[in-house]
Chains A and B, each alone.
Chain A
Amino acid sequence: MPETVVDDLTPSPSRPQPSRRRALPTLVTLLVAAAIVGVLVKTLGDATLVFHEVDAAVELRSELGDGRFRVVGTPLPGLVETMVDGESAVVFTLCSSGTFADVVHVGDPAELLQPGVPVVLQGAWTVGSVPGIAGLVAPADDGWHLRTDHMVVKHDNDYRVEEGRQADIESCSATG
């Protein structure tokens, strides 16, 4: 039997073992790092994710061209349900800071699409008036409209509950 050294019998700290047991957490760590990078790239790299106010979208109309962008504004009373190119659509007027834009939203609108509650729409400027314009209370009717297909609602931070309380709504006009 070979001579054995027994001077230090204290168990040494465990050494990292290249085992499968440690491979999984390492893999998870790498996947998480990749996911973080992916999220950042997706978030920061997409210019369409900025919301333009209606007045800015109107001002930038020639610059935006037929490119897709997001616009935020408050729908005025008077939502007209109609059909456009064989698809269900809702037509309304969007406003912010006293500027109006007519909208044709193709597809299902948001469940809580309500006059006075701001929405964020994604779509592009299109030449021409909107169908069913006679049903709108205060249409922009400027020869352009927003053709959109993605709608989300941007609710406010007001949680005061009171029987019969009127909502605080940005006033775009007497109809607003």
Chain B
Amino acid sequence: MTETMATNGTTTGSRGSRVLGAATLLGLATLLLFAFGLTEADIRLHPTTGEEIGQFDAVRLLYLHVPLAVFTYVAFVLCAFASAGYLIRRTPWFDTMAHAAAEVGTVFCGLVLVTGSIWGRPVWNTWWEWGDVRLMTTLVLFLMFTGYLALRRATVDPRAAARRGAVVALVAVLDLPLVNRSVEWWENRTLHQKSTLGELKIQDLTLFTLMLGFLVFGLVLAWLLLHRFRVGWLEREDAEHGIAADIAERRAAIDEGDVDAAVGEGT
């Protein structure tokens, strides 16, 4: 990874990442085609009246919302592992990975809230439901990782930022089991349904499209994570290079006997 970035200078792209990016774009287009074109709307018949009931076309948001939620979990779990790794090993790789995963995870989490809200309006009759435990625990998760990102910017000392961030990430990730299990533990405090895949209440093209959604959003996560990690790594290298250049410059000034320049006076 380091070698690749060093050979590329200031770019975060590589042949592999470009192939991954192209596959991601193609996958997204295919997913949209299946989700909004080829799959059927959710229409069922009432057993006694024969009336059509269901979610109708609103069900199509399933193929975006659910994969986004799953890969939000993946990103934040990755952030937690990398944060633990940083606290144990204190190497920049772990910190850069934790920061990248938290940032991408926060974007995914925001999109989960937005797509959920758009889906909820026609299906639930509300954009947002205060008190719904799944919504609340997800909002808390989003706020905690937003706080994580703000906290990292609150100090100029990179080691302090990494250390504090790692601790916050390990606390924030404890919310994930609450988000995931809330529909089982507090069934009477949420509008969310229980797991569809767990009960196998999905099949055929609907199941295929959902699986395609998982694959595509997995690619999106991988692509974003790769580039965000490389940006973070380049920023770190740039900062270290700047310090090394300053040292070299000041040593050169001493060699020339220019003490004022070496200590930065009169500049």
A contact set with B: CB distance below 8 Å: 4, 6, 9-11, 13-17, 22, 25-26, 28-29, 32-33, 35-36, 39-40, 42-43, 46, 49-53, 72, 77, 110-117, 120, 151-161, 164-167, 169, 175-176
Measured CB to CB, the residues of B under 8 A from A are: 39-49, 51, 53-56, 59, 62, 122-126, 129-133, 136, 139-140, 143-144, 146-147, 150-157, 159-160, 188-189, 191, 193-196, 199, 201-206, 243, 246-247, 250-251, 254, 259-260, 262-263, 265
Q: Is the interface of A mostly helix, strand, loop or mixed?
A: loop
Contact A161 B39 (CB under 8 A): yes
- Residues of A near B254 (CB, < 8 A) are 6, 9
Asked if B194 and A157 sit within 8 Å, CB to CB, the answer is yes
Q: Which residues of A contact B196 (CB under 8 A)?
A: 157-159
Q: How far is the CA of A79 from the CA of B125 in the complex (A)?
A: 17
Contact of B45 among A39, A50, A151, A165 (CB under 8 A): A165
* With contact pairs A17-B156, A77-B48, A115-B46 given, residues A160 and B125 touching in the complex (Cβ less than 8 Å): no
Inside 8 A of B152's CB, which chain A residues have their CB? 25
Q: Give the residue name and chain of the A residue nearest to B51 (CB).
A: A115
B44 to chain A minimum Cβ distance, whole angstroms, is 4
In the assembly, what is the distance between CA of A117 and CA of B136, in Å?
24
Chain B residues lying within 8 Å of A42, measured Cβ to Cβ, are 130-131, 136
Which of A32, A50, A167 touches B54 (beta carbons < 8 Å)? A167
Residues on the B chain within 8 Å of A111, using CB: 122, 125
Total A-B residue contacts, Cβ distance less than 8 Å: 176
User: Are B155 and A77 interface neighbours, CB within 8 A?
Assistant: no
Query: Whole-angstrom distance between the alpha carbons of A35 and B254 in the complex?
Result: 53
- Chain B residues whose CB sits within 8 angstroms of the CB of A115 once the complex forms: 46, 49, 51, 53
Instruction: With both chains docked as a complex, state the minimum distance between the C-beta of B41 and any C-beta of chain A, in angstroms.
Output: 8
A26 to chain B, nearest CB (A): 5
CB < 8 Å neighbour of B193 from A16, A152, A155, A165: A155
**Whose C-beta in chain B lies nearest to the C-beta of A77?**
B49
Known: A50-B189, A160-B201, A161-B43. 12 other contacts (CB 8 A): A4-B265, A9-B247, A25-B150, A29-B150, A39-B139, A43-B133, A53-B188, A77-B46, A110-B124, A156-B193, A157-B193, A167-B47
